[in-house]
Amino acid sequence: MKRQLPSQTLEEQFLSPSTRKAPLSESIRLAAQLMLQKAVELEVTEFLGRDHYQRSGDGVLQGYRNGYEDKQVQTAEGPLHLKMPQVRDTIKAFDSVWLRALVRRSDKLAALIPQLYVKGLSTRDIEAALTDTLEVEGVSKSTVSTLCGQLKKDFEQWQNRDPTEHRILYLFCDGIYLRLRPEDQKAVAVLCAYGIREDGKKVLLHLAVGDKESTVCWKSFFQDLKQRGLAEPLLAIIDGNSGLRKAVRDCFPGSWVQRCQVHRMRNILCKLPEKARPGLKKLIQKAFTAQTHKAGLERAQAVVAMYEQEYPEAMKCLAIDLEEVLTTLRFPESHRKRIRTTNLLERLFGEGRRRSKVVPRFMSERSGLSLLFAVLVDASAGWHGVEITPASAQQLVALRPQPSAKTLSRLAA
């Protein structure tokens, strides 16, 4: 007596009165399971060149059926439990086209889990979402944690990569404070840098821990990048941190420096009475956005001379390192809006803080950095760079010390 095929058993179950009374979603899942079971059984018949219990055949690929193996695959209709036909003594292994397509979907689902984590869902949220919304069974918190562990591998690979492919025009630097380690009683600095390359595209460059934003920590940060091959940038954009400023001077002595205009404006305005802020802000803004560096310097110095008696602290703040606050005015006009501030990094850090709140406490420094890295990469996906035209390329080369013909042709290409 011939044994009943798994598809025949499923068909009987699908046509039974109990299934007709089941919810529509369950009926759809059983129908999908039945169709897939029949499909893989037909694939094996075609692969062997003969039907079940047929002892001979003219198929090129000879072999034998060898029972079934339980297999569960995830679909939009929920988990499907299959009996995968096994074969032996064949010239090549049997590979189900249907199963391969579904495994690719499962792989995408596995890749989705870390993305949900990066987007701000906790492991418990992800488990609930997969079970309740997508009806994906068997995904526990430990499975989610394991899949999210891929973030650490991605981060380690990124952190040790060779940055020589990125020839940086503009280097932006800033720090964020987070509690990365279980033993941390207070937040530690995570130093970050991104750059705009010679082709105008933005790229996240480096992420590392420093106890604080000191000169020593920032120098170590830059030296790591330099040892791995990062060339000196044309311009470094920084906030008012003195440790960062000294580290930039020591590590990139040939680079121009742009002090963040947004930070400087905040510092000036907080030293002014509220009624004076709107008017002076407009005057200072005109200096910050002048057509030339010389014009901007003259306007700012005129504001200082006009108001230094009335608002000495605010004007002293405006006058400090004024040339560096206006460095952007030496650069192509179309680039100035992008290089006058480090605010983009601050917005990224804000996103990092928001999404890391799903983790009450990181298990290790590596875990915290890995999540922050993934968040920054995800949040920076929509970054816009700058346009490098032949005219702006010429202007940039003129700002470099002793430019070579090779550099000129590369920038103009």
User: What is the reported pLDDT for 269?
Assistant: 95
Question: Is 341's pLDDT higher than 80?
Answer: yes
> Please, what is the average pLDDT of the chain?
78
CA distance 203 to 225: 14
Q: Give mean pLDDT, residues 376-388.
A: 75
Q: Give mean pLDDT, residues 349-359.
A: 61
Q: Give mean pLDDT, residues 256-263.
A: 94
Question: Is 403's pLDDT higher than 50?
Answer: no
User: What is the reported pLDDT for 122?
Assistant: 54
Tokens of 412: 């103009």
Question: Is 139's pLDDT higher than 60?
Answer: no
The alpha carbon torsion through 307, 313, 318, 322 (nearest 10 deg) reads 120
Give, as one character, the DSSP assignment of residue 130.
Answer: I
List of residues 6+ apart from 402 with CB closer than 8 A: none
Question: Is 126's pLDDT higher than 60?
Answer: no
* Per-residue confidence band for 407, with pLDDT thresholds at 50, 70 and 90: very low
Tokens of 143: 């499975």
Buried b (16+ CB within 10 A) or exposed e, 320-337: eebeebbbbbbbbeebbe
> Which of residues 308 and 344 earns the better pLDDT score?
308
Question: Is 168's pLDDT higher than 80?
Answer: yes
Amino acid making up residue 373: F
pLDDT tens profile 208-242? 888 778 899 999 999 999 998 889 999 999 988 88
List of residues 6+ apart from 154 with CB closer than 8 A: 370, 373, 374
User: What is the reported pLDDT for 132?
Assistant: 52
Please tell me which of 193-197, 361-365, 377-381, 397-401 the model is most confident about, judged by mean pLDDT.
Answer: 193-197
Q: Give mean pLDDT, residues 372-394.
A: 79
Question: Is 382's pLDDT higher than 60?
Answer: yes
User: What is the reported pLDDT for 150?
Assistant: 64
Please tell me which of 4-8, 127-131, 277-281 the model is most confident about, judged by mean pLDDT.
Answer: 277-281
Listed range (96-110, 258-272, 297-311) with the worst mean pLDDT = 96-110
Q: What percent of the chain has pLDDT over 70?
A: 70
Question: Is 248's pLDDT higher than 90?
Answer: yes
Question: Is 80's pLDDT higher than 90?
Answer: no
* Main-chain phi, psi angles of 78, to 5 degrees: 115, 180
Q: How many of the other CB atoms lie within 10 Å of CB of 142?
A: 10
pLDDT tens profile 33-50? 777 788 788 888 878 777
Instruction: For Cα atoms 410, 338, 399, give the angle at the middle one, nearest 5 degrees.
Output: 45
Q: What percent of the chain has pLDDT over 90?
A: 32
pLDDT tens profile 311-331? 999 999 999 999 999 999 999
Question: Is 125's pLDDT higher than 70?
Answer: no
- The closest alpha carbon to 218, from 184, 196, 190, belongs to 190
- The closest alpha carbon to 137, from 202, 205, 74, belongs to 74
* Per-residue confidence band for 1, with pLDDT thresholds at 50, 70 and 90: very low
* Per-residue confidence band for 405, with pLDDT thresholds at 50, 70 and 90: very low
Q: Give mean pLDDT, residues 151-169.
A: 79
